[in-house]
Amino acid sequence: MMLIVGTIPIRDMPLTIGKVAAEVDFLIVDGRRIPCIQGTGAMIGAALATTDYLKLEAPCALLAGDIGQGKGSRDIYEYLIEKVAELSPTVLALHYWLPDMVLTRRLCEAIEKCNRRPIMIADAASMYSAKAAGRAAEFDIFTPDATEVAFLADPNATHPAYIARHLFDTDITQAPRLAEVAYQSNNAAKLLLVKGAIDYIINKGGIVATITEPDVPALEAIGGTGDTITGLVSALAYAELELPEAAIIAARANRMAGKFAHATPATKVRQVIAQFPAVFKEYLCRWSGVCFMEGGKL
Amino acid sequence: MPFLKQKNTAFEGGGLVLFLDVHDAIQAEKVLKKAGYGVKLIAPPPELRKGCDLAVEINLVEQPGIERVLKEKDVAYVGVSPLKVGTSELLEIIKVVDFGRWVMVKVGNMKITFDKESSIIVNISGGGCPDIPYLHAELIGKSLSEAPRPKDIGFTLCALNADRALEECLALQSGGNAP
């Protein structure tokens, strides 16, 4: 099972868990309609588009409503701490929530009790809390942007709003240097997929790959296009691609979907997500060797 | 853990509210607990002391929401600081990207993009805290001047950066300085 975990901007939506389905512009989880907008909704939308195309089991989502006050986040933490060993996901993708260092440590301890350790992926504030709690190295993939790599590189920072000035740099070309600093203090996941004008795939040994094409600058402005990369890489990891390959394809597919959508800064993320099936159909076989014909696997 | 309603009283928030007066610190702890925040009274490290031997430890991410409660309840405080004394600071580095018809303003990890002609906010990106998708839903489609301020309806540091981005968008638009 691929389990995607995060908050949804619906006030008072209770803890909800279930397989994801799509319904026009919404996602459905346990009968509840989830907007496919920036955040966990966009991530789920991208993951679902990928599993649908690959004819894999749809992602399972653990969600709660939270508009920033933290209650939904705490409900998620507590449920996951109690149930993660029982759920035993193959891929555990953590996303938006209110970062809490103590609860994150308890979650990491609970994950250690799983019979089979899940592939652990974190983005957004779950990445913040993993790093701030000192557990970053236990994760397989983080998907930061340029600012968030600087946050990982600052050993004192608990949120990207507070970063040592000498580390802060919005220039994406500085990402490899900052990643190296983050690895030196064990504040990075085993693999980093750094999202930006240049996408970098980086591990402790250095740059694994860079992706620059197609160049669609408007993607940076579109809320949720970072979340879609995380959804893509999570689903591709669930499809048992090697993690660096999954990261490379995720970055390429996201860019290509932006191109297919003729993205402008006013484009909505669901318009980008809608392009993933066409992108996969045209490019996935060429990029990965995962080849399908209409109606079944080759 | 920032929420004292839970049985486990472990707490690690990473931020401090600083006071000039011990009474204010005690009052702050009381009103913040009542508002549902997990907080703890601690002695601040010497380098952060502002005249009082008590500070309130908070989850730093919740800074905007906490400051809003203190202001609403008229509790005087000096400021908020990260607990780890180092080189970290609240960054206000602003970057503006001209997309022709649209302008994107980036502050820290948050970006707001608006239509130059109509002043309508067309996208919000970046961030990772749970109020950001909420702000995304609340602000997009509204004009810069009519949109609610993230600092008023958000709760986290991501919202604080979004508010600064909105402020810069307003300045660009009203001052005619947009690129």
Degrees to nearest 5, angle at CA A92 with A27 and B12: 105
Degrees to nearest 5, angle at CA A9 with A238 and B90: 95
Q: Could you tell me if B21 lies within 8 Å of chain A, comparing CB atoms?
A: no
> Is residue A187 over pLDDT 70?
yes
Instruction: Between B157 and A120, name the one with better pLDDT.
Output: A120
Q: What is the pLDDT of residue A24?
A: 82
Q: What is the pLDDT of residue B49?
A: 65
CATH of the domain at B109: 3.90.1010
In this prediction, residues A242-250 reach a mean pLDDT of 97
Q: Cα–Cα distance between A183 and A189 in angstroms, integer?
A: 8
Last residue of a domain, one of B82, B104, B125: B82
Q: B146 to chain A, minimum CA–CA distance in Å? A: 18
Q: Are residues B99 and B168 in the same domain?
A: yes
> Is residue A282 over pLDDT 90?
yes
pLDDT digits (tens, 9 = 90+) for A97-115: 999 989 999 999 999 999 9
Q: Looking at the domain assignment, is residue A172 inside a domain?
A: yes
What is the distance, to the nearest Å, from the Cα of residue A224 to the centroid of all Cα atoms in its chain? 10
CB count within 10 Å of CB A46 equals 31
In this prediction, residues A48-67 reach a mean pLDDT of 97
- Residue A68 with chain B: CB contacts under 8 Å: 65, 129-131, 134, 154-156, 159
**Phi, psi of B8, deg, nearest 5:** -70, 120
Q: Quick one: how many helices (H) and strands (E) in chain B? A: 5, 9
Host domain of residue B77:
14-82
Q: Looking at the domain assignment, is residue B58 inside a domain?
A: yes
Residue of B nearest to A101 (CA): B12
Q: A96 to chain B, minimum CA–CA distance in Å? A: 6
Q: What is the pLDDT of residue A293?
A: 58
Could you list the mean pLDDT of each consecutive 10-residue stretch along chain B, which spans 179 residues?
Answer: 40 84 86 90 74 81 93 92 67 88 93 97 94 95 96 90 94 71
Q: Cα–Cα distance between A168 and B93 in angstroms, integer?
A: 9
Strand order in the sheet with A206-211: A32-35, A26-29, A16-23, A60-65, A2-8, A91-94, A119-122, A141-142, A191-194, A199-203, A206-211
Q: What is the pLDDT of residue A167?
A: 73
Task: State the total domains in chain A.
Answer: 1
CB-facing half-sphere around the CA of B107: CA atoms within 13 A: 19
- Helix/strand/coil for B43: coil
Q: What is the pLDDT of residue B44?
A: 76
The answer to whether the CB of A2 falls within 8 A of the CB of A47 is yes
In this prediction, residues A221-232 reach a mean pLDDT of 97
pLDDT digits (tens, 9 = 90+) for A5-36: 999 999 989 999 999 999 988 999 999 999 99
B66 token code pair: 């906490």
Q: What is the pLDDT of residue A292?
A: 66
The answer to whether the CB of A1 falls within 8 A of the CB of A87 is yes
Q: B53 to chain A, minimum CA–CA distance in Å? A: 23
Host domain of residue A254:
2-287
Q: What is the pLDDT of residue A92?
A: 98
Last residue of a domain, one of B82, B104, B137: B82
Task: State the total domains in chain B.
Answer: 2
**Phi, psi of B63, deg, nearest 5:** -50, -50
Q: Test A161 with B91 for CB contact under 8 angstroms.
A: yes
Backbone dihedral region for residue A122 (phi beyond 0: left; psi -120 to 50: alpha; all else: beta): beta
CATH of the domain at A179: 3.40.1190.20
Q: How many residues appear in chain A?
A: 298
CATH of the domain at B22: 3.30.70
Which of A97, A126, A223 minimises the CB distance to B136? A223
